[in-house]
Amino acid sequence: MARSRGSYYSALKRITRVANSGFGLKKTCNSIAKSAARAMQANGCRILSLSSQKEYLITVGTYGLSDLYLKKGPLDARKSLPDILDGKVVYIADAATDDRVQHPQTALSQGISSILGVPVLGKGQAIGEIRIYTREPRQFSEADKSFLLSVADTCAVIFERAELHQLLQKDYRADERRRKASPASPVPTSTLRPTTFAHSSEEDFARLLDFYCIDWLYEPRSFPLRWEGDKLAEMFTPDFYLPELDLYVELTTLRQNLLTEKNRKLRQLRELHPEVNVRLLNKSDFIKLLAKYGYGPLGEAKVEGVDRVLYSHAQIQRRVRTLARRISDDYAGQRLMLIGILKGVVCFMADLMQHLSLPVTLDFMAISYYGRDDEVVEITRDLDTSITGQHVLMVEDIVDTGMTLNYILGHLSAHNPASLSVCTLLDKRARRLVNVPLGYVGFEIPDEFVVGYGLDYKGEYRNLPFIGILHPELIKGESPQ
């Protein structure tokens, strides 16, 4: 059915009025989503904002979509219709069968057929998107696209206005990182702290999140709770949003009068906005939460001896999945034998193999070093099975000097495998003595002593779910990794 120019004109007038109403981000965007969907005679609309690290798309306004659809988790910016963020208008005729759709099963169960997505552009860069959903399969006209692009222009202005105070925090965090990277020239603290932290516990919380490389936004949204006639009478602004966990966090200092009040607001927020995942946390709750999501051992805010986290659990998992996809593609239709060298490889091997979509067998070797400067390698545990005629992938946690791998590859190739390649999670290229061919590399790392996710220092730290850099004081005078 053709939509008239008149209805688009009136909708744009309404949308501009709402944009200038001074309402909070969520109310404004919900109202725009509703006007846009109605004008286009569509069944749903979603307005998404790109997270500060450009990894996630955060829903800031919706209309006509069920909770189930909204709760399918934060959208991965690289997987969910990435062309839109490249500035393109994307049309999906059938969401259930189009492999560009990140959650096709959910779309199917929600009866969504067609999707039109346009970028929200701020200074020529995508800062978000608008998506329109229809139950009936639909062809979108040029007028439809041009209307939605105009709505996106209005959203760009709203986003930029809402992001203004966030920019100050990004500057602060960049400064903080620079300061950590060059401790010799510290930036005065007064210029680093955002003035917007309302309480010192929030500052502590932000530091802890930074330590564990967990992306955060400070007070990014206000949720309307109560209206008196047309006037907004009460709002609630949670302290933090953690995009990786799609979680809002309100901190509590445990003062009973505040706690009761905060609990009431949270109850109300959940009733009015059931799609919002929000938690009230005191310090010990927070540490338990970190443990649940794999950050840091329970009962300790920071791991003793670890100077800083190099790769968080989530970053490692994302990289492992990417490596597994590449390996699965490269060996498609073949069987693959994975060989690991004990013990450092255990975490990586366990995670990697679970994401391989191939028939896989597994074997392990153990080695010991002896001689001056550990330059001689001896195999103390050899393979259980023959590798002759097999496609073999050596899996390593870290390649440092390359001596170990060089020796093992020589040993294995003498048994005539069909192919022999290497996948290492970490490549400390700066310390390489022997050139070894690396087929798949997770991360190239600096020349620092790293621990965690299988890697040890004197037998400890292997159980950390992240990779951290050991405090230089701890290893003073010892030979490097």
To ligand PRP, the closest distance from the beta carbon of 282 in angstroms equals: 38
Q: Which of 295, 339, 335, 332 is nearest to 465 (CA)?
A: 295
H or E stretch including 186?
A: none
- C-alpha 160/C-alpha 156 separation (Å) is 6
318-357 footprint of ligand PRP as x/- string (CB under 6 A): -----------------------xxxxx------------
To ligand PRP, the closest distance from the beta carbon of 456 in angstroms equals: 5
Q: Residue 387: beta bridge partners? A: none
194 in Cβ contact with 174 (< 8 Å)? no
Q: Supply 443's token pair.
A: 């991360």
Q: Supply 472's token pair.
A: 């230089």
* Residue 98 binding ligand PRP, by CB under 6 A: no
Position 464, amino acid: L
31-61 in b/e form (b: 16+ CB < 10 A) is bbbbbbbebbebbbbbbbbbbbeebbbbbbb
* Residue 425 binding ligand PRP, by CB under 6 A: no
Catalytic residue among 144, 400, 447, 456: 400
To ligand PRP, the closest distance from the beta carbon of 343 in angstroms equals: 4
* Residue 402 binding ligand PRP, by CB under 6 A: yes
- C-alpha 108/C-alpha 255 separation (Å) is 47
* Residue 427 binding ligand PRP, by CB under 6 A: no
* Residue 438 binding ligand PRP, by CB under 6 A: no
Instruction: Give Cβ neighbours of residue 228 (< 8 Å, ≥ 6 apart).
Output: none
* CB-nearer residue toward ligand PRP: 57 or 395: 395
Query: How many chain residues interact with ligand PRP (CB under 6 A)?
Result: 16
Q: Which of residues 441-470 bind ligand PRP (CB under 6 A)?
A: 456
To ligand PRP, the closest distance from the beta carbon of 178 in angstroms equals: 31
- C-alpha 190/C-alpha 345 separation (Å) is 43
* Residue 128 binding ligand PRP, by CB under 6 A: no
To ligand PRP, the closest distance from the beta carbon of 336 in angstroms equals: 20
* Residue 396 binding ligand PRP, by CB under 6 A: yes
Q: What is the phi-psi region of residue 29: left when phi exceeds 0, alpha when psi lies from -120 to 50, beta otherwise? A: alpha
Q: Which of 403, 401, 358 is nearest to 377 (CA)?
A: 403
Among 81, 403, 423, 450, binds ligand PRP (CB under 6 A): 403
- C-alpha 338/C-alpha 361 separation (Å) is 6
To ligand PRP, the closest distance from the beta carbon of 426 in angstroms equals: 9
* Residue 220 binding ligand PRP, by CB under 6 A: no
280 in Cβ contact with 252 (< 8 Å)? yes
240-279 footprint of ligand PRP as x/- string (CB under 6 A): ----------------------------------------
144 in catalytic set: no
Q: Supply 315's token pair.
A: 């970053």
* Residue 397 binding ligand PRP, by CB under 6 A: yes
* Residue 129 binding ligand PRP, by CB under 6 A: no
- Name the CA radius of gyration of the chain, rounded: 26
Among 35, 62, 169, 401, binds ligand PRP (CB under 6 A): 401
Residues that are catalytic: 400
Query: Rule CB under 6 A: which residues touch ligand PRP?
Result: 341-345, 396-405, 456
